[in-house]
């Protein structure tokens, strides 16, 4: 497809499109991707063009189409955000950047990171939903052409599509895209199952003839009699949809009846209900299979009447009835907000404001909820259909299928949910685990002093309810867990002859990246942490590491054979730190830390620099580092500090007092260490001591070289 072909597709619904800008975007994208090929061997730019063409079917605006043409330029070509913004405006650049970030998210990962990336996905959607529209079209074209990928890559992409993108398309109201994404994924993940469905379906058509045409004629005849003008569209369900029904109902294909669906598109809402009456008069309705999404629309704007009737030969037939305007939203979902017709943004009264939709979708997910909780909540919302129940005041509460009175209570308010002790459904007292149905009236019975129960987690189905229950349970148990955790901590630290103080706990919290010492105790008491983990966070090396020690003569790599070295006294580099050597005539090279302030003196003498590095492995504790420490002036303090240092496997070679005050001493402690990690351990141990006010590494930049340097052999 060339630029003119694409422009012609846009002009069909938007004669006022900026054709020059679209052509320039086409040429820019083609130039950026020049020479790049897809796995199939086709020029890579055929993919962005195909994505743009898919979006024209949704009659989307110029900015979205240009984003589709350029959506891989920032990631895969030399183009930058600034280049795109300069040529096509800030709006397009922002959208392209958003699609690029979505592409880099690993949503199919089984790791914890999947949950964090899912939150990022929804954050990107909340900024501009067109980003996800481009990404969905991108995924659809990739799935249509997936055969050119490696087999294992096909399975990965198909699973990700089935788990994430197909349900997301459905939640956005783009049901046609959901069905196609599911079926394309099904073809990869279970080719034998799909082929089996197709073979059986062809056999059914041969045996029963063209059922769709016969039922369509019957419906037209009945609607004509009633004077109702309607367009009827019949279709067989997709193979994956049939397969899913077989799995859900545990039925064979031969027993599955509702594999045909029909849509009746009328001119007005009144005709929808007239058509419903006509259909029910002619064919018997199947109980429990009626849904009125016109009077109670879905949050994504979807409106339609759903019913199932017994057609010819007792076969079940699903019928959807809606107006043409409703159908446009049903096809495009939330994307209908950007649809154009005759050069103008289409005014469709049923289209949902995307900002309002994404707000409704995410409002129940608290910002303080952990990533895993967020992922669970979002998936629950995405994969669920809805039921509509009424409060005693007549308010309509939308809930996912399978919801219980607990979910209803939390949907009204978290306070109501927490205080729930019972429920009445249609004025009858029912257990809290009762599954609610469409149209039921629900009354929540509350009591002061009631608190959420742990069993409610198994009863609730909505993300909002589960999140609120978890938070409440954590608060209820917190005091008990802290008390238990303190006893466990006292025992664990006692085993290594250490005391549990608030400073020790705060140090453990920082190391473990936990908000506070109390939270450490709470997690210890709830078995989320072990006593050993907490002790290791503060005192990770109570005994020297085992294994062969690296001799001092070969501690540094990069020297000439037999050549020694001196450690610079100014920075006192330790194994594990980045280093550089400075040569002196007739003397051994002096080793400095790469960030040493003295290195500025040799900026113009690069010929004296030697590229060095420490030998990796276990070094002996012979490398001196100096600590500047301020401690409390109290009986036994210095002795306890020296003991703590010794317990880490370090040796104190000297002490120099710099300042003596009535309350505090400031002193330099010369400590012989193995490496930088050993220094970190000693520092952390001292930070945990109540009597230590400050501690930092001391570096003396006034020392001259090479005289007075500390030899690497001492």
DSSP string, 195-242: HHHHHHHHHHHHHH--HHHHHHHHHHHHHHHTT--EEEEEEEPPHHHH
Q: Is the pLDDT of residue 253 over 60?
A: no
Strands (DSSP E) found in 596-650: 609-614, 623-632
C-alpha distances (whole Å) from 711 to each of 265, 564, 567, 587, 662 are 90, 9, 6, 11, 38
Domain boundaries along the sequence of the chain: 3-189, 193-345, 471-538, 546-714
What are the structure tokens assigned to 283, written together? 């064919």
Q: What is the pLDDT of residues 178-187, one digit of tens each?
A: 889 999 999 9
pLDDT of residue 207: 64
Segment 686-699 mean pLDDT? 88
Between vectors from CA 457 to CA 452 and to CA 462, what angle results, nearest 5°? 105
Average the pLDDT over each of 139-143, 156-160, 363-367, 392-396 and give the range with the smallest value: 363-367
**Cβ neighbourhood burial of 343 (10 Å; 0-12, 13-18, 19+):** exposed
pTM of the model: 0.54
Radius of gyration of the chain (CA): 35
Q: Is the pLDDT of residue 451 over 70?
A: yes
Q: Is the pLDDT of residue 682 over 70?
A: yes
Q: Are strands 566-567 and 587-593 parallel, antiparallel or unpaired?
A: parallel
pLDDT of residue 271: 93
For residues 524 and 491, is the Cβ–Cβ distance under 8 A?
Answer: no
Positive or negative CA dihedral for 421, 426, 430, 434? Answer: negative
d(CA 559, CA 615): 12
Task: Number of helices (H) and strands (E) in the chain: give both, helices first.
Answer: 28, 23
Residues in the chain: 714
Fold topology of 546-714:
Alpha-Beta Plaits (3.30.70)
d(CA 520, CA 150): 47
Q: What is the pLDDT of residues 603-636, one digit of tens each?
A: 888 888 888 888 877 888 899 999 999 998 888 8
Q: Is the pLDDT of residue 177 over 60?
A: yes
d(CA 179, CA 182): 5
DSSP characters over 22-34: HHHHHHHHHHHTT
How many beta carbons lie within 10 A of that of residue 42, not counting itself?
12
| Active-site position among 57, 75, 318, 533 | 75
Query: 19: closest CA among 28, 31, 8?
Result: 8
Instruction: Give me the residues paired with residue 235 across strands.
Output: 261
Average the pLDDT over each of 143-157, 190-204, 559-573 and give the range with the smallest value: 190-204
- How far from the centroid of its chain's Cα atoms is residue 643's Cα? 47
What separation, in Å, do the N-terminal and C-terminal C-alpha atoms of the chain show? 75
Q: How confident is the model at residue 383 (pLDDT cuts 50, 70, 90)?
A: very low
State the average pLDDT for the chain. 82
pLDDT of residue 368: 44
pLDDT of residue 691: 85
pLDDT of residue 106: 57
Instruction: Give me the residues paired with residue 549 across strands.
Output: 618
d(CA 444, CA 423): 5
CATH class held by domain 193-345: alpha beta
d(CA 333, CA 38): 31
d(CA 644, CA 648): 7
d(CA 147, CA 191): 12
C-alpha distances (whole Å) from 665 to each of 625, 626, 697 are 20, 16, 16
How many beta carbons lie within 10 A of that of residue 408, not counting itself?
27
The helix/strand/coil state of 450 is: coil
Q: How confident is the model at residue 711 (pLDDT cuts 50, 70, 90)?
A: very low
How many beta carbons lie within 10 A of that of residue 328, not counting itself?
20
The proportion of the chain whose per-residue pLDDT surpasses 70, expressed as a percent, equals 84
pLDDT of residue 51: 93
CATH class held by domain 3-189: mainly alpha
Average the pLDDT over each of 57-66, 107-116, 481-490 and give the range with the smallest value: 107-116
pLDDT of residue 151: 87
For residues 169 and 135, is the Cβ–Cβ distance under 8 A?
Answer: no
pLDDT of residue 707: 47
The helix/strand/coil state of 368 is: coil
Q: How confident is the model at residue 337 (pLDDT cuts 50, 70, 90)?
A: low
pLDDT of residue 714: 35
Segment 380-394 mean pLDDT? 68
For residues 529 and 486, is the Cβ–Cβ distance under 8 A?
Answer: no
H/E element, 665: strand 664-673
Segment 337-355 mean pLDDT? 64
Segment 559-578 mean pLDDT? 89
H/E element, 687: helix 676-687
Q: Is the pLDDT of residue 367 over 60?
A: no
Quick one: DSSP state of residue 501?
A: -
pLDDT of residue 483: 85
Better pLDDT: 449 or 88 = 88
CATH topology of 3-189 equal to that of 193-345?
no
Average the pLDDT over each of 202-206, 223-227, 321-325, 495-499 and give the range with the smallest value: 202-206
Candidate ranges 362-366, 438-442, 537-541; pick with highest mean pLDDT: 438-442
C-alpha distances (whole Å) from 706 to each of 555, 557, 587, 599 are 20, 21, 8, 13
pLDDT of residue 295: 85
pLDDT of residue 611: 87
Q: How confident is the model at residue 546 (pLDDT cuts 50, 70, 90)?
A: very low
d(CA 66, CA 71): 8
Q: How confident is the model at residue 543 (pLDDT cuts 50, 70, 90)?
A: very low
Exposed e or buried b per residue across 346-378, where buried means at least 16 C-beta atoms within 10 angstroms of its C-beta:
bebebbbebeebbeebbebbbeebebebbbbbb
Spatial neighbors of 593 by CB under 8 A, at least 6 apart, are 568, 571, 572, 573, 577, 578, 579
Determine whether 76 is an active site residue: yes
Instruction: Give me the residues paired with residue 236 across strands.
Output: 260
| Active-site position among 57, 76, 116, 269 | 76
Spatial neighbors of 707 by CB under 8 A, at least 6 apart, are none
Segment 109-113 mean pLDDT? 47
H/E element, 693: strand 692-698
């Amino acid at each position: 497809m060339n630029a003119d072909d694409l422009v012609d597709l846009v002009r069909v619904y938007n004669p006022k499109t900026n054709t020059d800008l679209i052509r320039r975007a086409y040429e820019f994208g083609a130039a950026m991707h020049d020479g790049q090929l897809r796995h199939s061997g086709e020029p890579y730019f055929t993919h962005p063009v195909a994505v743009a063409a898919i979006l024209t079917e949704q009659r989307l605006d110029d900015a979205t189409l240009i984003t589709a043409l350029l959506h891989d330029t920032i990631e895969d070509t030399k183009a930058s955000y600034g280049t795109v913004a300069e040529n096509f405006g800030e709006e397009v650049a922002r959208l392209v950047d958003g699609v690029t970030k979505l592409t880099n998210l690993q949503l199919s990962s089984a790791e914890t990171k999947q949950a964090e990336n899912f939150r990022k996905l929804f954050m990107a959607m909340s900024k501009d939903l067109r980003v996800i529209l481009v990404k969905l079209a991108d995924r659809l074209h990739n799935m249509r052409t997936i055969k050119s990928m490696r087999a294992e890559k096909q399975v990965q992409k198909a699973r990700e599509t089935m788990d994430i993108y197909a349900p997301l398309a459905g939640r956005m109201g783009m049901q046609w895209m959901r069905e196609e994404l599911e079926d394309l994924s099904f073809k990869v993940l279970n080719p034998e199952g799909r082929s089996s469905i197709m073979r059986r379906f062809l056999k059914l058509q041969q045996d029963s003839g063209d059922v769709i045409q016969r039922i369509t004629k019957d419906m037209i005849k009945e609607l004509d009699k009633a004077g109702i003008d309607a367009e009827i569209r019949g279709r067989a369900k997709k193979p994956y949809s049939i397969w899913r029904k077989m799995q859900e109902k545990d039925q064979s294909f031969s027993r599955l009846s509702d594999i045909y669906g029909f849509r009746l598109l009328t001119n007005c809402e009144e005709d929808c209900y007239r058509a419903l009456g006509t259909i029910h008069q002619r064919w018997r309705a199947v109980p429990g299979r009626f849904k009125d999404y016109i009077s109670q629309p879905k949050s994504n704007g979807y409106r339609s009447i759903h019913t199932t009737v017994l057609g010819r030969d007792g076969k079940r037939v699903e019928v959807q009835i809606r107006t043409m305007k409703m159908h446009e939203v049903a096809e495009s979902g939330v994307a209908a907000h950007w649809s154009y017709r005759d050069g103008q943004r289409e005014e469709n009264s049923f289209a949902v404001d995307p900002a309002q939709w994404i707000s409704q979708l995410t409002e129940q997910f608290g910002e303080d909820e952990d990533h895993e909780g967020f992922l669970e909540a979002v998936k629950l919302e995405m994969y669920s259909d809805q039921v509509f129940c009424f409060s005693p005041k007549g308010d309509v509460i939308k809930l996912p299928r399978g919801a219980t009175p607990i979910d209803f209570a939390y949907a009204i308010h978290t306070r109501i949910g927490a205080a729930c002790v019972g429920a009445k459904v249609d004025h009858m007292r029912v257990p809290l685990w009762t599954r609610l149905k469409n149209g039921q009236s629900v009354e929540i019975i509350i009591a002061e002093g009631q608190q959420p129960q742990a069993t409610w987690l198994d009863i609730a189905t909505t993300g909002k309810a589960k999140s609120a229950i978890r938070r409440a349970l954590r608060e209820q148990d917190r005091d008990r867990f802290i008390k238990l955790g303190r006893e466990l901590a006292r025992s664990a630290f006692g085993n290594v002859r250490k005391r549990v103080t608030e400073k020790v706990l705060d140090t453990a919290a920082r190391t473990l990246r936990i908000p506070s010492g109390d939270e450490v105790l709470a997690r210890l008491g709830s078995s989320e942490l072990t006593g050993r983990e907490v002790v290791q966070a503060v005192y990770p090396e109570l005994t020297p590491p085992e294994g062969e020690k690296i001799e001092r003569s070969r501690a540094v790599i990069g020297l000439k054979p037999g050549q020694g070295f001196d450690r610079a006294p100014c920075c006192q580099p330790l194994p594990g730190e980045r280093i550089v050597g400075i040569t002196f005539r007739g003397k051994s090279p002096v080793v400095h830390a790469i960030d040493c302030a003295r290195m500025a003196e040799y900026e113009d003498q690069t010929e004296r620099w030697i590229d060095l590095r420490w030998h990796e492995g276990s070094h002996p504790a012979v490398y001196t580092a100096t600590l500047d420490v301020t401690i409390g002036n109290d009986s036994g303090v210095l002795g306890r500090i020296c003991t703590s240092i010794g317990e880490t496997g370090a040796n104190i070679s000297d002490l120099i007092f710099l300042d003596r005050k009535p309350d505090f001493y400031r002193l330099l402690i010369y400590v012989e260490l193995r490496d930088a990690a050993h220094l970190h351990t000693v520092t952390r141990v001292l930070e945990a001591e109540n009597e230590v006010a400050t501690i930092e590494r001391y570096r003396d930049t006034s020392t001259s070289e090479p005289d007075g340097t500390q030899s690497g052999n001492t």
